Amino acid sequence: MSDALYGSCAEVLSLCQSMKDDLAAILDPEKGFAPRLRQICRDQIADLEDSRASQSEIELLRMEQNTWGLLQAVMPARKTDPPSVPSARDLLYENPYTPTLTLAQAIMNSSPLLSELIVIREWLHETAPAPMHPEANTGYWKFTKHNVIQSIRMGNAHRDGLVKEMDPDAPNREEGRSLAADDARYEKNLLQALYGYIRGGRFDDAVELCRKAHQPWRAASIRGSFLFQWRALSAEPRDEDSMEDEDDMDIWSGNQNRQLWKTACTRAALSSALSDQERILYAALAPSPQTSNVLKLACRTWEDHLWAQVSIMCEEKESMELSRLGGSFWEGGVEAVNKGVNNEANDAEEDEWKKEAISSLDSLKSIAVLEGPPADHAFHFSQLLIILNRTNTLLDSFAVGLKDGSYTQSSFEYASMCRFFAHFCLFLQMIDIPVPPLATQVILESYLQVLEDAGQRDLIAMYASALGENAIERYALFLVSLALSADINERRLALTRARDHGLDPARVAVVTAERTIEQAFDVLPGLEGPLPSIIALQLPPTDAELFLLRSIEWTIFQDTTHNTALEQANVILRYFLGTGRVQAAQSLLDVLPPELAGIPEPEERATEYLHYRQFFVIWETVERVVDCQSQHVPGMNKDAKATWLDDYRSLIDQAHDQITRLLTTEWLVSDVENPGDELDERRKDLIRIRQIYIPELIIRLHFLLFDSRHFIPENLKRALQLANIVADSRYQLYEDFVNEDGKRLGDYLGAVREAILGGLEGGGSDPFRVMASA
């Protein structure tokens, strides 16, 4: 894909976005959004053909060009109210001699689906391939004529099995006889060319070709498809100042008895006596369910099948309505006029026709084709769903394909499809057609990645800002999608780009953090089940846990989001502590800015955060005690041992004071026995955290004191005094030992028993003697 193509599409987008409040301008048939992009594709095709590029790339652009043409064909009618015009019934009431063409137009105007199908048929005519012209012909069956004349001159009337007569029906009437080989080949090519003209809606060209081929009867057959028109009898408005219009009033055209003509065409199409090419031509002239199998013989591409189906539906609907209305002289003669117009409106019949039409179109999703891209090609799928007005389904489907790998970046179609769908989303937004937000996000971000890969960095900001009213949410989802692939510097840069795109970075940061936490919690297990062990070796954080940890980064980049960061930090700390992942919680605390501790309100949130910080100060002190204890080695000299002992004593005193202070205050929650409202998940989580860590801190402090009794004898007494604090009803610490199996309470009681027995180590029989010592 050339760099100029990206820039050209961006220019069109920028231009149309500048006039987004002018719907008529965006839908203008010449200078609107879709026609401009169609022209860009057309120009690009011309450049590729000149440079002899691959046919597959040209074909892909041609399909995109056609799809923009389809959008321009159907969207204006969907977004604008149809003009108020008289119905066919009203016209017939007023004038039973109203021409068939006028009635057909009124029928079309009264049915939005029929109107759209006719527009689609015209689009298929416009995009049809040019027919192959037969070679020039200087006379009617000249080779056969020459051979017949030669045979007559030589007295051999049956020469070479040629026809004996030259009328058009001779090859079908004279069994076993045929035209001269050159004429038969020309006839076949002519019929194929005529079908090509009918397929392209070029009836006048087909008529002209018949005249050049010296076959005026074929021209008459084709002109029979034209609906009868006579302006003198129609209700069309007239230009009183135009003499030309006045002269045309008395001129009529078209087929006055089209029903009879259609019956003849149907019989010809079903006649086994005619060649396949002739039958196909008549089936194309008068498409109907009866002739559909014949018409489908000529359908080689998916577009051919779509055209055949749409043509049949349009022709049948118009015929059905004209027949149901009655009262038309040109359809039923004087008898129909005498019977009058049918007054009954059959809504059930209309609904049934709509269902059948949609079902018929739906069947094209999987139809087999002989040439060209298959039915399930992305552009064919897109065209069909656009016709069915299922744009949301289309966008969702493409977005799913992008996410599940159905469309890989290595495919040559990937960039083109992303470009089309990105501009398709933006086009729908500009004309106020709702689009699915998540699918649009995926599609636009995929195109942004295409632009980055193509080095089109100057265009990225514009497309990012084109995310619409939900830009904050969508850009946040994009940032969430970075997951673990981007480091903190890349994340900061990505957030900074939000401001460059006209978005509020603070709002983006908050929404990104919220969505990250939501996605992480969708994967992570909940805070349920038995209390975790925090003694066992802790494994490194999983990817889901890292994803949750990184969510806080979005709200700590800016001071304006620190309040949100405080709230989210509490949520994450609550989760990690509730699952026993102390190290993960500690790593989160390490990256939080110190300013969070200075936020005073809301008080409940600020207090919870300070309590977590208090806990980790204690946790670090306990680890320092353990580390200091391990530094004692036998044989230390007196000075070294004295220094070590001072440090050891100081750390234990510090740990004792910090833990005692935590135990004698309402850390996290009070009244643990009352879990509160069933819906208060936060309180339940805080109680769970207390039941994990209060017993753990008590037992750890007990063993720090007990293990140090040989160096600091008074610590044995402090260990036993700790039991008094645990048992003190004012602090209700015993409630934190309540869990499923009561194991932690048993562990602590065993430790207290061991401390009591430790009081006998110096001799004597009174285990509580140590409590009475100074």
pLDDT at 89 over 50: yes
Which of 517-523's residues contact partners 24+ apart within 8 Å by CB, and which partners? 517/548, 517/551, 517/568, 517/571, 517/572, 519/480, 519/547, 520/544, 520/545, 520/547, 520/548, 520/551, 521/548, 521/575, 523/547
Lowest mean pLDDT among 54-58, 239-243, 537-541: 239-243
Question: Using H for helix, E for strand and C for coil, what is the string for 378-394?
Answer: HHHHHHHHHHCCCHHHH
Lowest mean pLDDT among 152-161, 308-317, 544-553: 152-161
- Average pLDDT (104-115) is 88
The CA R_g of the chain, rounded to the nearest whole Å, is 43
Tens-digit pLDDT profile for residues 278-308: 999 999 999 999 999 999 999 999 999 999 9
- Average pLDDT (442-460) is 80
Residue 689 falls within a domain, yes or no? yes
Residue 62 falls within a domain, yes or no? no
Highest mean pLDDT among 174-178, 726-730, 770-774: 726-730
pLDDT at 397 over 60: yes
Percent of the chain with pLDDT over 90: 41
Would you say 555 and 515 are in contact if contact means Cβ atoms under 8 Å apart? Answer: no
Query: In degrees rounded to 5, what are phi and psi of residue 137?
Result: -130, 130
pLDDT at 19 over 80: yes
Which among 231, 234, 233, 252 has a CA at the least distance from the CA of 242? 231
Concatenate the DSSP letters of all residues of 529-571 into one string.
Answer: SSPPPSSSPPPPPPHHHHHHHHTTHHHHSSGGGHHHHHHHHHH
The reported pLDDT for the residue numbered 572 is: 94
Highest mean pLDDT among 126-140, 182-196, 673-687, 691-705: 691-705
- Average pLDDT (128-143) is 77
703: which 2 tokens? 């063993």
The CATH number covering residue 619 comes to 1.20.190.50
Q: What is the DSSP letter of 230?
A: E
- Average pLDDT (46-73) is 90
- Average pLDDT (452-459) is 72
* First and final C-alpha spacing in the chain: 90
**501, containing H or E segment:** none
Given 312, 346, 363, the domain boundary residue is 363
In angstroms, the Cα distances linking 233 to 105, 229, 239 are 15, 8, 15
User: Distance (Å, rounded) from C-alpha 735 to C-alpha 671?
Assistant: 9
pLDDT at 81 over 80: yes
In angstroms, the Cα distances linking 359 to 101, 113, 353, 667 are 28, 13, 10, 67
577: which 2 tokens? 């502590």
* Residue 251: count of CB within 10 angstroms of its CB: 10
The reported pLDDT for the residue numbered 177 is: 66
693: which 2 tokens? 């860590």
The CATH number covering residue 221 comes to 1.10.3450.20
pLDDT at 207 over 90: yes
User: Distance (Å, rounded) from C-alpha 144 to C-alpha 182?
Assistant: 8
Number of domains in the chain: 2
228: containing domain: 92-141+180-236+250-363
- Average pLDDT (501-508) is 81
Residue 434 falls within a domain, yes or no? no
User: Distance (Å, rounded) from C-alpha 625 to C-alpha 640?
Assistant: 17
Residue 564 falls within a domain, yes or no? no
Question: Any alpha helices (H) in 405-456, and if so which ranges?
Answer: 414-430, 437-453
The mean predicted confidence, pLDDT, of the chain is 85
The CA angle 573-578-584, to the nearest 5 degrees, is 50
pLDDT at 242 over 60: no
Given 363, 392, 426, the domain boundary residue is 363
Residue 397 falls within a domain, yes or no? no
- Average pLDDT (661-676) is 75
The reported pLDDT for the residue numbered 311 is: 95
Which among 450, 379, 455, 454 has a CA at the least distance from the CA of 414? 450
**226, containing H or E segment:** none
The reported pLDDT for the residue numbered 243 is: 46
Task: Say which residue the tokens 């200075």 belong to.
Answer: 598
- For helices 714-727 and 743-758, the axis angle rounded to 10 degrees is 140
What contacts 275, CB < 8 A, 6 or more positions away? 188, 191
The reported pLDDT for the residue numbered 753 is: 87
Given 342, 363, 384, the domain boundary residue is 363
- Average pLDDT (74-80) is 91
Cross-strand pairs, 253:
229
The reported pLDDT for the residue numbered 437 is: 84
pLDDT at 334 over 90: no
User: Distance (Å, rounded) from C-alpha 287 to C-alpha 294?
Assistant: 9
The CA angle 597-599-601, to the nearest 5 degrees, is 130
pLDDT at 25 over 90: yes
- Does the predicted TM-score (pTM) go above 0.75? no
pLDDT at 122 over 90: yes
Residue 48 falls within a domain, yes or no? no
Residue 61 falls within a domain, yes or no? no
Banded pLDDT at 134 (limits 50, 70, 90): confident
Tens-digit pLDDT profile for residues 461-499: 678 776 656 677 767 777 787 778 778 888 788 788 778
Would you say 517 and 551 are in contact if contact means Cβ atoms under 8 Å apart? Answer: yes
Which SS3 state, helix, strand or coil, does residue 456 take? coil
User: Distance (Å, rounded) from C-alpha 315 to C-alpha 311?
Assistant: 6
375: which 2 tokens? 């039915």
Residue 602 falls within a domain, yes or no? no
User: Distance (Å, rounded) from C-alpha 737 to C-alpha 274?
Assistant: 97
Tens-digit pLDDT profile for residues 718-739: 888 898 888 888 888 888 887 6
Would you say 277 and 298 are in contact if contact means Cβ atoms under 8 Å apart? Answer: no
Which of the pair, 207 or 97, is modelled with greater confidence?
A: 207
> Taking the alpha carbons of 592, 596, 602, 608 in that order, is the dihedral positive or negative?
positive
Quick one: how far is CA 759 from the chain centroid?
A: 74
